[in-house]
């Protein structure tokens, strides 16, 4: 049994019937986006339970082996020439366990959004599109699809039509725009409904992006589906 990741939990109202699981980036923790909840205009949505998990602390090769919160190791700045397959798959199991825990608490998969920034974005795409139950949506912020060469064989039909919100900064020096665009192009080619948003920013969050995230959440969560 996978040990449940430690996390922050925020509910917009009692008895939530929807959930958003939001994964932070390298070196951060669940607090990184928890403060964003009051800024999101989710009027019209049912009560939402936001879950912000903390990644385990591991040595990160690209940062000289410094131990920091990370979903997986990063071996080089280009991100994709050599990837931590074992680490990515281990974190995917831990994230899937969080989704399954929400399902066990009474929120069906089709009312759950999986979100992530940077490394968390990579994990959201990797885990969500392989998950065996249909999710409400995936938010992929300033990141990319890892293990792309294995994706076609491992993706599930359950999430073949799940709405994907992808956002990227046009001046991002960490995950260069071309990396996100390549992931977008692959997903679009495979038939996924991708909403692509580019913002004039580095590796961060843009005020207009926050508004667009709220719009996306209302699109996929505002109307309950039996």
Residue 224 clears pLDDT 90, i.e. is over it: no
Q: Give the pLDDT mean for 96-110.
A: 97
- pLDDT for 226 equals 41
| Burial of residue 64, with CB atoms counted within 10 A of its CB: 0-12 exposed, 13-18 middle, 19 or more buried | exposed
> Which residues, in sequence order, are bridge partners of residue 168?
198
Q: Give the pLDDT mean for 81-96.
A: 96
Q: From the candidates 110, 168, 203, 206, which is the catalytic residue?
A: 203
For the chain, give the mean pLDDT: 95
Q: From the candidates 118, 126, 168, 183, which is the catalytic residue?
A: 118
Evaluate if pTM is beyond 0.85: yes
- pLDDT for 150 equals 95
Q: From the candidates 84, 172, 183, 206, which is the catalytic residue?
A: 172
225 — pLDDT class (breaks 50, 70, 90): very low
Is 118 a known active-site residue?
yes
Residue 81 clears pLDDT 90, i.e. is over it: no
Question: What is the DSSP-derived secondary structure letter of residue 195?
Answer: E
Continuous H helices in 15-118: 31-34, 85-104
Residue 24 clears pLDDT 90, i.e. is over it: yes
Is 212 a known active-site residue?
no
Q: How many CB atoms lie within 10 A of CB 136?
A: 22
Which residues are CB-neighbours of 2 under 8 A, at least 6 positions away?
93, 94, 96, 97
């Amino acid at each position: 049994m996978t040990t449940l990741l430690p996390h922050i939990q925020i509910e917009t109202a009692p008895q939530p019937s929807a959930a958003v699981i939001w994964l932070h980036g390298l070196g951060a923790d669940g607090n990184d986006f928890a403060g964003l909840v009051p800024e999101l205009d989710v009027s019209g949505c049912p009560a939402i339970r936001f879950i912000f998990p903390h990644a385990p602390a591991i040595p990160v090769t690209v940062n000289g082996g410094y131990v920091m919160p990370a979903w997986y190791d990063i071996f080089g700045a280009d991100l994709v020439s050599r990837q931590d397959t074992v680490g990515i798959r281990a974190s995917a199991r831990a994230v899937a366990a969080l989704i399954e825990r929400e399902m066990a608490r009474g929120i069906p998969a089709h009312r759950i959004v999986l979100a992530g920034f940077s490394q968390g974005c990579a994990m959201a795409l990797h885990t969500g599109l392989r998950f065996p139950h249909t999710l409400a949506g995936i938010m992929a912020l300033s990141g990319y699809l890892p293990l792309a060469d294995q994706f076609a064989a491992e993706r599930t039909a359950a999430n073949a039509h799940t709405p994907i919100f992808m956002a990227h900064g046009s001046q991002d020096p960490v995950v260069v725009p071309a990396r996100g665009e390549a992931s977008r192009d692959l997903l679009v080619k495979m038939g996924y409904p991708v909403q692509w948003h580019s913002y004039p920013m580095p590796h961060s969050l843009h005020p207009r992006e926050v508004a667009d995230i709220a719009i996306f959440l209302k699109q996929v969560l505002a109307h309950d589906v039996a």
